[in-house]
Amino acid sequence: MHAAQHEDRDPAAGDPAAGRTRRAPGSAGAVPGSTGAASGSTGAASGSTGAAPGGGRTGAHGGGTRAEGSRSVFEPAEIGRALTRIAHEILERTSGAGDVILLGIPTRGVPLAHRLAGRMEQVEGHPFPAGSLDITMYRDDLRLRPARALGHTAVPAAGVDGQIVVLVDDVLYSGRTAAAALDALGDIGRPRIVQLAVLVDRGHRELPIRPDYVGKNLPTSQREVVRVLLTEVDGEDVVLLGEGPGASGGDGMTR
């Protein structure tokens, strides 16, 4: 069912090939980063030594949110550049249309949506509505964990009918969050086009979901944990890659 919905919207979301080409520079840019990451992981193999570079950064930012043994794979400046690029891509692919709405998925998709809207406004000179879309009540794994608190849903007053909605999330992993977001969005209205923008695509899709805009493709193993920290929520901008479930426990990770 998700598949069918997604297939419906995909063609409208633009030429997938073009999307991939456009993403290529992004992934090319990721090469030095991932090379660095590779050397980092060599260090990580030797345990506490691997934590040293990350540990230095942790000290610099005073981030208590950081799990031990995780390393930075996406620096603040890179995150900023990736968001600027995505903002331009959204404008390009929607021909600067005035009817674009950015809906972030709580927790960390929401500040990302607002940042993208801000950058798009700088380019186009008029504001773009941004809001949030909580998907908790639509998750397919609700019964696997105790009932969780709901996030906030704030859809711009004009609604989403007939508009282009760009869903924004921090990490794309199994694709289940995005599928749930499509269900949630369907109950709010009927957008003309739905697209998906993510800061990090870590692979391992379990559903036929494909992002339209990607900040960075991050090859990971399923044992690893990707953690996105944002200034608005965590006090700093960084993407961390850690080992194993010991580092888990937050939002924007294994989902």
Partner 1 sequence: MNRHLISAGELTEQDALLILDTAEELAQMADRPMKKLPTLRGRTVVNLFFEDSTRTRISFEAAAKRLSADVITFTVKGSSVAKGESLKDTALTLEAMGADAVVIRHSASGAPHRLASWVKGSVINAGDGSHEHPTQALLDAFTMRRRLGRLGGLRVAIVGDVLHSRVARSNVLLLSTLGAEVTLVGPPTLLPVAVGAWPCSASYDLDATLPKSDVVMMLRVQQERMNAAYFPSVREYSRRYGLDAARMALLAEHAIVMHPGPMNRGVEIAAEVADSARSTIVEQVANGVSVRMAVLYLLLGGAEAQS
Taking contact as CB under 8 A, which single stretch among the options 29-37, 57-65, 130-138, 240-248 is the one that binds partner 1? 130-138
Site membership for partner 1, residue 158 (CB under 8 A): no
Output DSSP code: residue 66. P
- Tokens 């923008």, located at residue: 197
Site membership for partner 1, residue 212 (CB under 8 A): no
Minimal distance, residue 247 CB to partner 1, in Å: 23
Which amino acid does the sequence have at 103? L
Site membership for partner 1, residue 138 (CB under 8 A): yes
Taking contact as CB under 8 A, which single stretch among the options 44-52, 114-122, 146-154, 208-216 is the one that binds partner 1? 146-154
Select from 20, 152, 204, 223 the one that contacts partner 1 (CB under 8 A).
152
Which residues lie below 8 Å from residue 109, measured CB to CB, with a gap of 6+? Answer: 132, 167, 168, 169, 170
Select from 137, 206, 219, 249 the one that contacts partner 1 (CB under 8 A).
137
Site membership for partner 1, residue 126 (CB under 8 A): no
Select from 55, 153, 205, 208 the one that contacts partner 1 (CB under 8 A).
153
Burial class of residue 141 (count of CB atoms within 10 Å of its CB; 0-12, 13-18, 19+):
exposed
Which residues lie below 8 Å from residue 124, measured CB to CB, with a gap of 6+? Answer: 91, 96
Q: What long-range pairs does 185-189 form, CB within 8 A, spacing at least 24?
A: 185/103, 185/133, 185/160, 186/5, 188/133, 188/155, 188/159, 188/160, 189/159, 189/160, 189/161
Query: Could you give the 3-state DSSP secondary structure of residue 193?
Result: strand
Nearer to partner 1 by Cβ, of 29 and 186: the residue is 186
In the window 167-206, what residues touch partner 1 (CB under 8 A)? 183, 187-188
Which amino acid does the sequence have at 58? T
Select from 78, 89, 134, 201 the one that contacts partner 1 (CB under 8 A).
134
Minimal distance, residue 221 CB to partner 1, in Å: 27
Query: Could you give the 3-state DSSP secondary structure of residue 16?
Result: helix
User: Total residues contacting partner 1 (rule CB under 8 A)?
Assistant: 18
Nearer to partner 1 by Cβ, of 236 and 251: the residue is 251
Site membership for partner 1, residue 147 (CB under 8 A): yes
In angstroms and rounded to an integer, the radius of gyration of the C-alpha atoms of the chain is: 18
Site membership for partner 1, residue 142 (CB under 8 A): yes
Site membership for partner 1, residue 18 (CB under 8 A): no
Nearer to partner 1 by Cβ, of 6 and 119: the residue is 6
Are 113 and 131 spatial neighbours (Cβ–Cβ below 8 Å)? Answer: yes
Are 213 and 195 spatial neighbours (Cβ–Cβ below 8 Å)? Answer: yes
CA distance 131 to 188: 13
Taking contact as CB under 8 A, which single stretch among the options 16-24, 43-51, 147-155, 217-225 is the one that binds partner 1? 147-155
Q: Where do contacts with partner 1 occur on this chain (CB under 8 A)?
A: 134, 137-138, 142-153, 183, 187-188
